Structure 1
Amino acid sequence: MRQERIRLPGDAQWLLQTLHTAGYSAYVVGGCVRDSLLGRQPGDWDICTSARPDQMRALFADQQLILTGEKHGTVGVVLHGKPYEITTYRLDGQYRDHRHPDRVQFVGELAEDLSRRDFTINAMAYAPGEGVIDLHGGRQDLANGIIRCVGKPEARFEEDALRILRALRFAARLGFVLEPETEQAARAACNTLQSVSAERIYAELDGLLTVPGAGATLSRYGAILAGAIPEVGPCMGCTQPGRWHCYDVWQHTAAAVTALDLRGQDTRGARVLCWATFLHDIAKPLCRSVGPDGAAHFRGHNQRGAQVARGILRRLKAPSYLIEGASGLIAIHDAPLPSGDTAILKSLNRYGAIFLRRLCALKYADLDAHAQTPEVAARRRDVTIFEERMQELSHTGCYTMRQLALNGADLMEDGMPAGPAVGQMLHALLSAVMEGRVPNEKAALLAEAHRLREAR
């Protein structure tokens, strides 16, 4: 961990200095202090102060202000296009909805403000000349890799149930573990997550799933996560046949999330893959049967899983591209891949190259979370062979009507009447090209069109 001297952005330093000059105490606080001590670049610099909202408004009257959080003590000051949140020291009242305080009480001391915060690593403040103010052992917990609630964890989670998922997200993001009492309280209170809005649950889960430590956190804290996604519960302890697997369904899922390679994916593609991997076997407990040999089978878990995943993502009010993309991958994630150029071209025509690249990434992650047997290795080689040829054909092959060497205007100029038959003919010609029966050349395509019209 780095020394206690934190390098502040010029604007944050100016805000602190302005507050200090006016006679108020002020500190940067929370995540920016935590990340600075870890040697990470903070995304936001939040400030807490003894100044009340009306005093802040007067002090920064010549700046652009954001006042939507004023009743909770927060005034946003925009400097050089970036907003900085400045919040009055406060204590929170009761949380009857397990999410929002019924009221806030402004206080005059930093210590009181830090005592209301969620985790020790987020309950540190800093000001130049004073150094880090750490009243709850946050630096030691950073050093030990621990997520610990400030005060009694039962009270922190009762106040705000979303803190349960925030604990898991921080654990995944930082590679930390929950301190035992914090973990026990989170397990006991996980069902209160049902009182939290779907949008907030989605945001926390999305932040958890899209960081490298997600798999380890899922593996360790599945029982807590089931409070937000009840479908996770039956996956834990759901055994799978040893010929292919070395984990139950949930530990396999966690291992697949760990194995997922997101290189080459854009932001949307990475998000779709993270959620698809998380949910790819979510319906296995619903489809489990035991054969005469005593081995478990999961027939139909692809399509059933796509339905369950779609329901979960809709319930969480996820964006539509994620719902469609993830459920589409899950629906065929365990299906055999096409072989041969014709089948691959038809698959490119149906799904597109982007989807198929994502499918390969999901299949690799899935297989890497299987038992390392010759059968699994052979399946992985099949994915590699398909992916390499699919990539080649996506650049050199013809699998869309736009890639045909003629279009509808060419057919009509050749004497074909306008109407639906033109589109039908183009589809027939594209099939002929993909099947290798006709070269993608204008003269050859017109000749094939003549032949098909005469045959009809």
Structure 2
Amino acid sequence: MLLPQDAKKLISLLRSCGYKAYAVGGCVRDFLMGTTPKDIDIATCALPEEMETVLKNTDIKYIETGIKHGTVTAIVNHTPYEITTFRSDGEYKDNRHPENVEFVKNIEDDLSRRDFTVNAMAYNDEEGLIDCFGGKEDLENRIIRCVGDPDTRFNEDALRIMRALRFSSVLGFDIEKRTAESIIKNRALLSNIAVERIYVELVKLLLGDNCEAVLLKYRDVIAEIIPELKPSFDCAQNSVWHIYDVYTHSVKSLAVSPKKDYIRLAMLLHDSGKPFVKKTDSNGIDHFKTHPAVSYDIAKKVLKRLRVSREIFDKVTLLVKIHDEHIYPDKRSIKMWLKVLGEDMTLDFIDVKIADMKTHNPDKVSDTCSTLRNIRTMCERIIADNEPYKLSQLKINGNDLLSLGYNGSEIKKELDYLLDKVIENEENNNREYLLSLAKNKTV
């Protein structure tokens, strides 16, 4: 494995002082998969104070980031490297943190406490790969498997349930049978985990290439986090426009949407209100009038509970609220949306509609999908050509209206009116013409 020179330097330094040291965990997994790891974590038999002595004697800066758990962060060429003493964990009482840790001398004991076999490997140049639990074979077979007993691992740290789903989604791995069964059985333990940590794992899961399979197979786990989605499970949509139940449609539309966290959250929640407004007519056809408004209320509740940022909250709720609105393949319609939403959100709105439509009945919506793609192209061209659709592009401004006798809220109202005139016909964006329109209203 081609470890970075600075990581090699730290490992060699510890070894030269008589301590065992290895690169461990996710970085080893990433190297074996042929990808560049974001971080290199190092494990050693040296105690924290022994690590500090080694680093101090070689003038390497360090921070005591987790001394209680045996972690010191060395800073080499402005890059942090976490170095942690081999340890075994004590009893877990909160399904998240061990009550205490015990430092041990063997890398095998340290690896045995880790979550999944693919993350329980170690490496250094002298000894090569240390793989006590078949992690390399599971990597080759694309399998997520707990180290040891799955129930024990998930009861120790329930966040591992979400990590397993996230790895399956991001890496495209299957979850081994016993591990999968334990995930379902222990899903209620997620209630003991901080929502902020769950949200981080959920978003990574939603952005994975294999998210559709994971969200469908482990929907009961998702319902532990977002119980508001449970009514959509198996909620039929008997209509010529649909071929999937509400939840399946939502997941499939999510999977074909752009990889933006707020868009994928919006797709997950965009039809959550349908089960609550479902009406079946005398012909057995289902209707879901007003579902965007109900979905909007559900999305607000879910996102507040997950404590998302204000930016994410605003974007997701807006997209859920307007996902069923119409946009037409003409410049006026597109520019009106650009005026209201701005450039980025208008493109996002169109992307949401495309993803939503692509997972309707393909026999009924192929023309609509094609039209929406054309609308997106038109929108991009309007933006690129700087065609007017916002107040700053008008040939007159508020000062001009002020000089004509407008004041206060009248100015904004008149500018909006004039912008609508320009959106109707770009040639109207002429200073003399706009001033004449405004003057006529003051006469």
| Alignment pair present for 1:23 and 2:18 | yes
- CA distance in 1 between counterparts of 2:77 and 2:427 reads 61
TM-score for the superposition, normalised by structure 1: 0.92
Counterpart pick for 1:355 among 313, 329, 345: 345
- CA distance in 1 between counterparts of 2:39 and 2:129 reads 17
- CA distance in 2 between counterparts of 1:164 and 1:327 reads 27
- CA distance in 2 between counterparts of 1:93 and 1:424 reads 67
More moved, 144-153 vs 334-343: 334-343
- CA distance in 2 between counterparts of 1:424 and 1:279 reads 35
- CA distance in 1 between counterparts of 2:324 and 2:411 reads 37
Structure 1, residues 146-171: CA drift from partner, whole Å, max 9, x if none?
11000100010011100000000000
Structure 1, residues 48-86: CA drift from partner, whole Å, max 9, x if none?
110011111111122221212110111110111111011
Counterpart pick for 1:316 among 306, 327, 342: 306
| Structure 1: tracts of 5 or more residues without a match | 1-5, 263-269
Task: Give the superposition deviation at 1:381.
Answer: 2.7
More moved, 300-309 vs 186-195: 300-309
Aligned partner of 1:121 in structure 2 is 118
Structure 1, residues 335-372: CA drift from partner, whole Å, max 9, x if none?
22245433332221111121111111111211222221
Aligned partner of 1:383 in structure 2 is 372
- CA distance in 1 between counterparts of 2:113 and 2:397 reads 68
| Alignment pair present for 1:34 and 2:29 | yes
Aligned partner of 1:178 in structure 2 is 175
Aligned partner of 1:112 in structure 2 is 109
| Alignment pair present for 1:212 and 2:209 | yes
| Alignment pair present for 1:151 and 2:148 | yes
Q: Equivalent residue of 1:85, what SS?
A: strand
Task: Give the superposition deviation at 1:102.
Answer: 0.9
Residue 412 to residue 367, structure 1, CA distance change in 2 (3 Å): closer
Within 5 A, what are the aligned runs for 1:37-436? Answer: 37-61=32-56, 62-262=59-259, 270-338=260-328, 340-373=330-363, 375-394=364-383, 395-413=385-403, 415-416=404-405, 418-436=407-425
- CA distance in 2 between counterparts of 1:364 and 1:421 reads 38
Residue 450 to residue 209, structure 1, CA distance change in 2 (3 Å): same
- CA distance in 1 between counterparts of 2:61 and 2:88 reads 27
Task: Give the superposition deviation at 1:427.
Answer: 2.4
- Mapped contact 2:88–2:104 kept (Cα < 8 A): yes
TM-score for the superposition, normalised by structure 2: 0.95
Q: Equivalent residue of 1:227, what SS?
A: helix
Task: Give the superposition deviation at 1:125.
Answer: 0.6
- The one-letter code sitting in structure 1 at the alignment partner of 2:303 is L
- Mapped contact 1:165–1:225 kept (Cα < 8 A): no
Task: Give the superposition deviation at 1:249.
Answer: 1.8
Task: Give the superposition deviation at 1:310.
Answer: 2.0
Task: Give the superposition deviation at 1:438.
Answer: 7.3
Q: CA RMSD in A?
A: 1.7
- CA distance in 2 between counterparts of 1:343 and 1:174 reads 41
Q: Equivalent residue of 2:186, what SS?
A: helix
Task: Give the superposition deviation at 1:94.
Answer: 1.3
- CA distance in 1 between counterparts of 2:325 and 2:371 reads 12
- The one-letter code sitting in structure 2 at the alignment partner of 1:114 is L
Aligned partner of 1:266 in structure 2 is none
Count residues in correspondence.
440
- The one-letter code sitting in structure 1 at the alignment partner of 2:236 is T
- Mapped contact 2:398–2:412 kept (Cα < 8 A): yes
- The one-letter code sitting in structure 1 at the alignment partner of 2:84 is T
Residue 451 to residue 99, structure 1, CA distance change in 2 (3 Å): same
Q: Equivalent residue of 1:60, what SS?
A: helix
Q: Equivalent residue of 2:428, what SS?
A: coil
Q: Equivalent residue of 1:68, what SS?
A: strand
Counterpart pick for 1:440 among 429, 435, 438: 429
Structure 1, residues 219-271: CA drift from partner, whole Å, max 9, x if none?
22212222222223222211112412222222222222221244xxxxxxx22
| Alignment pair present for 1:13 and 2:3 | no
- CA distance in 2 between counterparts of 1:301 and 1:9 reads 53
More moved, 120-129 vs 377-386: 377-386
Residue 333 to residue 421, structure 1, CA distance change in 2 (3 Å): closer
Structure 1, residues 265-324: CA drift from partner, whole Å, max 9, x if none?
xxxxx2221221222222222222222221222222212112211221221111111111
Aligned partner of 1:267 in structure 2 is none
Q: Equivalent residue of 1:28, what SS?
A: strand
- CA distance in 2 between counterparts of 1:86 and 1:437 reads 63
